[in-house]
Chain A
């Protein structure tokens, strides 16, 4: 597989805090990357750098081998990097077709070609296997999963070669989560690359090719999903001592070992992740 997006030695400081301390990441065409890490690990900053919302202090980003500069989200979109924002993507009062084309409506001179919009929106939905009964429905009345899918469809339709998803399955019911995960697999089949930020190990292992785990602004480890386990990933997220604790079955509420290796703010998350991991073991 050819490398589509490549990030080399990207660094970013906010005042005295190093959010990114030299991050390398490569995304191949048609690859799904699961980006994981605890709160404050630097995932969000990395995503913001990739979508042009934050400018890194140093480091290079290249697309298909060409170095690119991302000054704004507009630049990122122009280079084929599309980000799907959680709950910030859709206009509820407008219909599905209008939302798929938001900001880029096809026109015949001044007039918006609404027929073409509906037709193409339907094609995109069909191609991606998104089930919505009519493209004339206002999106406000649709389910959370359908809304998430429409937002993703827009990113793809507007030329996204790499789609960045921030917690796409959070706040969705199980069935809706399954729909979104299926959509991610469909994107991969079409050759679109996807970077999924998620806290859910199961979801990441279900759709990703590789899992990139970040900790304290650095890439802690990269794992092929076929050669890893949830425990392994959780271990990377938490650090070695905590991983040992999980392996020895000494888990539950953060014990002395766990709190030694993770900062205080992260402890509630440790408990959740550990429980999640145990349920998989």
Chain B
């Protein structure tokens, strides 16, 4: 009715244009973690010896690969308003099964990989179905999963580490160096995070994930099958635990039933530090990557400075608190900006 004649369809109404890059950045949920990453990076570059070398930086990138891979699934799950505490145990169990199936069952590596990734998806799906069908909080369901799956990993191996595959092709696919010191794991992480980041931010499914976590009733009323969205996110997270197990076993050539013990906390920390909200509807893949990176940089710097390894735990805790407080601050400022 009020469309001005002659106004081309492509022109955006002035107010709808993207705000200035800088202003948008300040309002973003990732602002806190971005500043933290930059600050820590600058500090380390100036004061920590041997930090600013490509070898060292690439090793940081390698160290955060597993957090990034599983964190990609956890990001989608947390945006959908759920959480999976069992990722560490899934990662451990599926690593053990990966090693078991190539050595004890003599399965080809590719088949074994499909098996553990599929099993991971199945475990995730079951936890997701219990959560959505019986309306039990995923915190509780996956807490049970954490115990059950870790127990299963220890039972299968009688508590002992297992030998894995010695296939050189498998090892170089997941454990070798792609170019120079750039580890294959880093590339796996980059591919997964980029791919799922695209899914989350650009596709219809990603929009459904945000709607589901933001306001499940509104999403349901709008015809979005929220239970299905959640179950898919659980299955995806499980599948990524399987992928992480596949990569780990190929890299190390063995599997330890205690793999991933406490790993869920590192993953959740990365996602939360990256700006995601535990109540759902907020979070991005870029944020999670930065969250993993900042934790990795801190750990690396502490090692290089020769600080007692236990300080790492303290630093991670402080980081989580600082990130959450910054996000709170950003949220209030964002409200004030408009």
Contacts and interface: CB of A to CB of B under 8 A. Distances in A.
A133 B19 CA distance: 12
Nearest to A121: B16
B219 A136 contact: no
B1 A127 contact: yes
Contact of A123 (B3, B18, B207, B219): B3
Nearest to B338: A141
Interface string A105-142: 10100111001001100110011010001111100010
Interface residues of B, number: 33
A135 B218 contact: no
Interface stretch (A60-68, A82-90, A232-240): A82-90
A103 B203 contact: no
A111 B16 CA distance: 20
Given A103-B224, A123-B3, A91 B219 contact: yes
Contacts of B204: 105, 107, 110, 112
Interface residues of A, number: 37
A112 B335 CA distance: 27
Interface string B207-220: 11011001101110
Contact of A85 (B16, B219, B221, B335): B221
Interface stretch (A37-45, A92-100, A248-256, A264-272): A92-100
Contacts of A77: 223
B207 A98 contact: yes
Contact of A103 (B3, B16, B219): B219
A102 interface: yes
B281 A92 contact: yes
Given A104-B222, A104-B223, A111-B203, A91 B16 contact: no
Contact of A88 (B13, B208, B217): B217
Given A88-B218, A102-B219, A94 B211 contact: yes
Contacts, number: 94
Given A98-B207, A111-B203, A91 B218 contact: yes
Contacts of B221: 73, 85, 88-89
Contact of B211 (A73, A102, A111, A154): A102
Contacts of B208: 103
B110 interface: no
Contacts of B87: none
A94 B13 contact: no
B317 to A, nearest CB: 27
A93 B282 contact: yes
Nearest to A96: B16
B53 interface: no
Which of A102, A105, A123, A136: most chain B CB closer than 10 A? A102
A91 B209 CA distance: 11
Contacts of A13: none
A105 B202 CA distance: 11
B17 to A, nearest CB: 8
Nearest to A72: B223
A136 B3 contact: no
Interface string B64-85: 0000000000000000000000
B1 A126 contact: yes
B13 A91 contact: no
Contacts of A90: 215, 218
Given A88-B218, A91-B281, A133-B15, A110 B211 contact: no
Interface in B1-56: 1-3, 9-10, 12-13, 15-16, 18-19
A74 interface: yes
Contacts of A88: 215, 217-218, 221
Interface string B189-232: 00000000000001110111011001101110111100000000
A156 B334 CA distance: 30
Nearest to B1: A127
Contact of A74 (B207, B223, B282): B223
A103 to B, nearest CB: 3
A122 B15 CA distance: 10
A159 to B, nearest CB: 12
Given A90-B215, A92-B215, A135-B16, A119 B9 contact: yes
Contacts of A105: 204, 207
B218 A89 contact: yes
A91 B211 contact: yes
A118 B16 contact: yes
Contacts of B206: 112
Contacts of A118: 12, 16
A190 B222 CA distance: 23
A122 B2 contact: no
Contacts of B282: 93
A215 to B, nearest CB: 29
Interface string B109-141: 000000000000000000000000000000000
Interface of B: 1-3, 9-10, 12-13, 15-16, 18-19, 202-204, 206-208, 210-211, 214-215, 217-219, 221-224, 281-282, 334-335, 338
22 contacts: A77-B223, A85-B221, A89-B218, A91-B281, A93-B210, A93-B282, A103-B208, A110-B203, A112-B203, A112-B207, A118-B12, A118-B16, A119-B9, A119-B10, A122-B16, A126-B2, A126-B13, A133-B15, A133-B338, A135-B13, A137-B338, A190-B1
Q: What 7 pairs between A and B have smallest CB-CB spacing?
A: A103-B222, A91-B214, A93-B281, A134-B15, A102-B222, A91-B215, A103-B223
